[in-house]
Structure 1
Amino acid sequence: MTAAVFDMREQLLADRRRRQLYTAATLAIVVAILVSGYSEANSLNSGGFLRGLALFFDYPSQIVQEAWEAGLSGMAALMWRYLPALIETLNIAFVATILGGLLAMVLSLSSTRNLDVWPPLIPVVRRVMDVMRAFPELIIALFLIFILGASPVPAMIAVAFHTSGALGKLFSEVNENIDMKPVEGLKAVGASWLQRVRFGVLPQVAPNYLSYFLLRLEINVRASAILGFVGAGGIGSELARTIGWGKGAGDETAALFLLLFGSIVAIDQFSSWARARLTTGEGLRLAAARV
């Protein structure tokens, strides 16, 4: 019996050493491929990576210098000039987040196992959400711009489509962690499925829903700005123009960056305030008083 245990131990150790050897060999091959690929790419690059690295901060320093030369009054005038572009980007992000958030709620409630959902529907809805968040907003927007033309509408549809899949996944995980006692109590007194969701689920998940919703709004503001580079309008189109001009437009680029940064900070502060009100119960008490 002892000899059999010893042989088994030796076999396990040998298997472990073999796996470690295979792992080390695989890592060595991957590193060799990466190094050779980098060398080949660097040789095809007209400037060279290491030579370009020394010039990395030249353009940012140029932007800061031109913004400094413009002064406070010049920067304020530029920010006021580009405010409509920021509003257009925020409109794209707000509308897309609202539409995507509403669809995400429907998808999440339809894919939560502990809410008495028809079992065959759950995997179908989950795969649909996987598909919706598998494609980046940029790819969807490029496809829609090719069909619908360059305008904010393709950007809004693209961002809303991706938002539905991403928020639906997060919302469904929140749903699965709720306390089921209120839901079971409502079911025991004959409440319908919609009533159980409204009075037993939503009051519990509202703070997390709002937190994820506003976090996604921040992401969508940045995504909407990026989509402007491919013709979706808004602040991204202005950034593409000023960056493309290079020298002489650094103050405009700085003004656009400041507007975008300020909007992100404002949304983040509002998110913290709104979630605190819901978490402490003030928001829920106001909602109950209205009902």
Structure 2
Amino acid sequence: MSDLDLLQSRYLDLVRRRRMYSGLLLIVFVALLVGGFQVANERNAGGFLRGLPNVFAYPSELVAEAWSKAGRLPGLIWHYLPSLIETLNIAAVSTLVGALFGGLLALLATPGLSPWPRLVTPIRRLLDITRAIPDVVIALILIFILSGGPVPAMIAIAFHTTGALGKLFSEVVENADVKPVEGLESVGASWLQRMWLAIMPQVAPNWLSYALLRFEINIRASAILGFVGAGGIGYELRNAISWGPGRYDAAASIFLLLFVTIIVIDQTSSAARDRLIHGARA
């Protein structure tokens, strides 16, 4: 057997082994998926498959009651507007705090730019930890300590935002041109001066774009955290839903208010991000 035939035979054996391992992993994954579904279905009240035909029962009942009381929707929307503003404030403050800390940690975690190279790896792991812990878990712990309200929600979202934006910001900084940094360093500029004058002009458009995107995400997160007692429009929505029939018009007005707000902010932020990116490219 020639060397070429031997090499081809080994390659085919390697391909067959990889296919076999991939097939085994797929079988294990499907078995775990089916087993997990069966366990969840057994523990679910009524069963998933038996309740599947009723999946649209609640939405249809809510829409029907809200339609019959359509005249009350404008007044209810006005009533819940302060709660929506509270949710927007939570999202805005948490995004601002998370962006500031995330930006600072991103600069400190970038090799070649950090003033303390030995801290690059620990800071990266810190960003991983803050990004890995769900904000709802942090909110539940803070609510237990600080009681309910917007402050636990803001801290929880800001904590998670720091990790998420820190990761994105660091990737942008790694692609920045370091020649301006070296030029400023040669004339005796401090680390803060080098970052502010050489790095920030390069990364600012992308950083602002990521911050706006995160602001959209944080609005939804702050609304969800309201269900665990963190205040805002989510808290009002939980109360309206828990009352059941008779208060579905209030739930519908909150849904409508939240939906329209998210759509408007999404479109506005998307337009702003596109303008920032295209302006940076130009």
Residue 13 in structure 1 maps to residue 5 in structure 2: no
Q: Distance in 2 between matches of 1:43 and 1:127?
A: 39
Q: Distance in 2 between matches of 1:167 and 1:40?
A: 37
What per-residue deviation string (whole Å, max 9, x for no partner) do you get for residues 184-204 of structure 1?
Answer: 333343332222211211112
The residue aligned with 2:2 is 3
1:34 aligned partner, one-letter code = L
The residue aligned with 1:177 is 175
Residue 42 in structure 1 maps to residue 58 in structure 2: no
Q: Distance in 1 between matches of 2:272 and 2:122?
A: 34
What is the Cα deviation at residue 40 of structure 1? 4.0
1:62 aligned partner, one-letter code = E
What per-residue deviation string (whole Å, max 9, x for no partner) do you get for residues 234-286 of structure 1?
Answer: 1111111112222222221121112222322332343245445545669xxxx
Residue 24 in structure 1 maps to residue 34 in structure 2: no
For the Cα contact (< 8 Å) 2:115–2:191, is it kept in 1? no
**CA 197–64 in structure 1, closer or farther in 2 if over 3 Å, else same:** same
The residue aligned with 1:121 is 119
What is the Cα deviation at residue 232 of structure 1? 0.9
For the Cα contact (< 8 Å) 1:214–1:267, is it kept in 2? no
The residue aligned with 2:73 is 75
1:70 aligned partner, one-letter code = K
The residue aligned with 2:245 is 247
What is the Cα deviation at residue 91 of structure 1? 1.5
The residue aligned with 1:151 is 149
Aligned-residue Cα RMSD (Å) equals 2.2
Which 4+ residue blocks in structure 1 deviate beyond 4 angstroms?
Answer: 276-282
1:238 aligned partner, one-letter code = E
Q: Distance in 1 between matches of 2:60 and 2:8?
A: 63
What per-residue deviation string (whole Å, max 9, x for no partner) do you get for residues 121-177 of structure 1?
Answer: 111111111111110000011111111112221111111111111111111111111
Q: Distance in 1 between matches of 2:263 and 2:124?
A: 33
Provide structure 2 residue ranges, at least 5 long, that are not aligned to the other structure: none
Q: Distance in 2 between matches of 1:234 and 1:14?
A: 60
What is the Cα deviation at residue 116 of structure 1? 4.9
The residue aligned with 1:85 is 83
The residue aligned with 1:60 is 59
The residue aligned with 2:254 is 256
Q: Distance in 2 between matches of 1:280 and 1:28?
A: 46
Q: What secondary structure sits across from 2:2 in the alignment?
A: helix
The residue aligned with 1:229 is 227
1:22 aligned partner, one-letter code = Y
Q: TM-score, normalised by structure 1?
A: 0.87
**CA 52–277 in structure 1, closer or farther in 2 if over 3 Å, else same:** same
For the Cα contact (< 8 Å) 1:211–1:275, is it kept in 2? yes
For the Cα contact (< 8 Å) 1:86–1:234, is it kept in 2? yes
Tell me which moved more, 31-40 or 125-134: 31-40
What is the Cα deviation at residue 29 of structure 1? 3.0
Q: TM-score, normalised by structure 2?
A: 0.90
Residue 135 in structure 1 maps to residue 112 in structure 2: no
Q: Distance in 2 between matches of 1:272 and 1:213?
A: 11
Provide structure 1 residue ranges, at least 5 long, that are not aligned to the other structure: 283-291
Q: Distance in 2 between matches of 1:197 and 1:29?
A: 50
